[in-house]
Chain A
Amino acid sequence: MQNPTIVLGVIGADCHSVGNKILEIFFSGEGFKVVNLGVMVSQSEFIDAAIETSASAILVSSLYGHGEIDCQGLRDRCIEKGLDSILLYVGGNLVVGKTPFDEVEEKFKEMGFDRVFPPDADLKQVAAFLQAEVQP
């Protein structure tokens, strides 16, 4: 059976590249086929890459605090493009300031993300969720 493909990238005008490289190495090590789009990735780049590679999940990072604006409408666009059931994960410093994480999580779940992670998320845990939730 083929390894599940995931698309990875830092969304919007965010250039934080170190964490992105770490995620690529980590998820590859966990047995995923990682398509890493790097930094400053637009919604349509995530979606185009997911279509061509038939990815099971899109993992969106955002570190600079503007994640909410950047991520709005991503689920709708996925549906428009025929990716109805793709998993959407998001993680990082998703909003500026000290909003409690459960509020942030709720907000992003309302936007259509399946899982939302804080900056100190345990990557092993993220990988376990992914393994369990990707469509075979």
Chain B
Amino acid sequence: MTPASVISIDIGSTFTKGALFSLAPTRPSVIRRAACPTTPDNLTRGFSRVLAMLCELPADTPLHDIRPAAPVRISSSAKGGLAIAAIGLVPDLTLQLARLAAMSAGGKVVKSFAYTLTESDIAGLEHARPDIVLFCGGTDGGNTAYVIENAARLAASRFDGPIIYAGNRAAADRVAEILRPRPLTIVSNLMPEINVLNLEPVREKIREIFLQAIVAGKGLSEIVRRFETGVRPTPLGVYELMEAIPRVRPDWDNLCAVDLGGATTDFYSNTDSFGETDSVVLKGIREPRLKRTVEGDLGLRISAAALGESAADYFAGPLNEAGLREYVARLIEEPGHIAVTDCERNMDDIMAEACVYHAARRHAGSFRETYTPQGRVHIQTGKDLRRVRRVIGSGGYLASCKDNGIMRRAFRRLSETGPEVVLAPEDPVFYADADGLFPLLGNLAAIEPEVAVALALENLKPLEQEKTPC
């Protein structure tokens, strides 16, 4: 039976936010919202405060004294979220799919390795200490030599966390034998054949491992024990919400969302990846209809220094270089800093635009025109986003946009054509997740998709055209 209401709480890296939702099928609504700063030393404290406020209790009520009347759904991206190392065989094939699968499961790819793992690769892996290693390589019945060799090298390493094997099934038994007694799970191959994608079993397993093994290390065990509920990686919920939106509301198909944060920029798309025509030849892997990418070098605060390097093109022009460097240095010292002066706000705007631009550019495919003896041909690589009609801005900064200026400028810049055309959305309508409900509704998307979608769309704020000064 569907409960009448549900509490959803998301423990973010900076803020812990929650809401109490009414699930009345005719008119679902947000009954109450609450937020407080995340308490990284003990995540339970911030969580309890938010839960208490949602239950209309004093904020300092101890967790064991709170008896919520509604079921509680929890997600977390605190303590660095879900860090995954991806191992594949060929960089453009199994490694790329491993990365895609990891990101679609709500993870952040902290290391990627192709071919045989070298000693320095292993050292890098041990140093990065990912939460999960996703280990792939070979189509089914294809190459076994690399994965068997890599299994031996993993077995000899000091990495002792969970490993998911999603490579050539012909080598699976051997891999299991070599890696015993490590915490290894074997799922079906994520690339059983060239150009065939099978990401779902990997995603499902990552989610399961996050629930069972990782929450403890993230300081969430007390919460899990208290509520006998799982904790999901925040981006996984948003991914599921993005999946549910066109399913529940087909008129909202062809959709993108950008979640711009202090440390990362996430980009989601739900649209067909390739429209086959005679004059377009698709190269590289066939990308999935629903896709998430996450960029660890694009962010407004913790990643500000990395952004300065990755988006150097952006900073060269409109900003005084020295001023920006000073600002970035300050942001790294003080990730909680909120822009005060007009100049700082301006810098934040430009940084935000740079994040959106580069995240979209990496997420989207491209094509170039080429002339062959048989005439003109377009070669497409990656995903075609040109059918996308709507783009949603989420995360603190984009959620609070007053108009579509930042996102529109970033997307317009994408469509400035060079020899290579970026397959970005053409003139989409922009929305803001103004109340920050996406992560919270993401927690409901898998169980109550209709309600989650209705509430998500109802609370989106259409962004008006930016007023250009005359």
Q: Chain A residues in contact with chain B, CB under 8 A?
A: 2, 5, 13-16, 33, 35, 37-40, 42, 44-45, 48-49, 51-55, 64-66
Contact = CB atoms under 8 A, between A and B. Distances in A.
Interface of B: 89-90, 92-94, 137-139, 141-145, 191, 193-194, 281, 283, 370, 372-374, 377, 379
A35 B195 CA distance: 9
Contacts of B143: 51-54
B281 to A, nearest CB: 5
Contacts of A37: 194
Nearest to A33: B141
B190 to A, nearest CB: 12
A11 to B, nearest CB: 12
Contacts of B373: 13-14, 64-66
Contacts of B93: 48-49, 52
B95 to A, nearest CB: 10
Nearest 6 CB-CB pairs, A to B? A53-B142, A13-B372, A54-B143, A48-B90, A54-B142, A53-B139
A14 B89 contact: no
B92 A5 contact: no
A18 B90 CA distance: 29
Contact of A35 (B94, B194, B283, B377): B194
- Name which of B90, B138, B193, B379 has the most chain A CB atoms within 10 A of its CB: B90
Given A52-B93, A53-B138, A53-B194, 10 more contacts: A13-B370, A14-B374, A15-B374, A33-B141, A35-B194, A52-B143, A52-B194, A53-B142, A54-B144, A64-B372
Given A35-B194, A40-B377, A15 B372 contact: yes
A39 B143 CA distance: 24
Nearest to B373: A64
Contacts of B281: 15, 38-40
Chain A interface main SS type: loop
30 contacts: A5-B141, A13-B372, A13-B373, A13-B377, A15-B372, A37-B194, A39-B281, A40-B377, A40-B379, A42-B283, A45-B283, A48-B92, A49-B93, A51-B89, A51-B143, A52-B89, A52-B90, A52-B137, A52-B138, A52-B139, A52-B194, A53-B138, A53-B142, A53-B194, A54-B144, A54-B145, A55-B142, A64-B373, A64-B374, A66-B373
Overall SS of chain B's interface: loop
B311 to A, nearest CB: 29
Among A37, A42, A52, A55, the most chain B Cβ lie within 10 Å of the Cβ of A52
A50 B137 CA distance: 12
A26 B191 CA distance: 25
A15 B377 contact: yes
A54 B143 CA distance: 5
A76 B138 CA distance: 22
Contacts of A44: 92
Contacts of A51: 89-90, 143
Contacts of B372: 13-15, 40, 64
A35 B193 contact: yes
Contact of A5 (B142, B144, B145, B374): B142
Contact of B194 (A13, A14, A16, A49): A49
A37 B286 CA distance: 12
A23 to B, nearest CB: 16
A16 B144 contact: no
Contacts of A52: 89-90, 93-94, 137-139, 142-143, 191, 194
A70 to B, nearest CB: 12
Nearest to B138: A52
A79 B60 CA distance: 68
A109 B176 CA distance: 43
A50 B291 CA distance: 27
A49 B89 CA distance: 11
A45 B90 CA distance: 10
Nearest to A40: B281
Which of B138, B193, B373 has the most chain A CB within a 10 Å cutoff?
Answer: B373
A63 to B, nearest CB: 9
A93 B203 CA distance: 46
Contacts of A35: 193-194
A82 to B, nearest CB: 9
Contacts of B144: 54
Contacts of A14: 372-374
Point out which of B92, B142, B370, B379 has the most chain A C-beta atoms below 10 A from its C-beta: B142
A42 B381 CA distance: 13
Contacts of B142: 5, 52-55
Name, among B89, B137, B194, B370, the residue most crowded by chain A CB atoms within 10 Å (CB to CB).
B194
A44 B138 CA distance: 16
Contacts of B89: 51-52
A2 to B, nearest CB: 6
Contacts of B191: 52
Nearest to B146: A51
Contacts of B138: 52-54
A7 B297 CA distance: 38
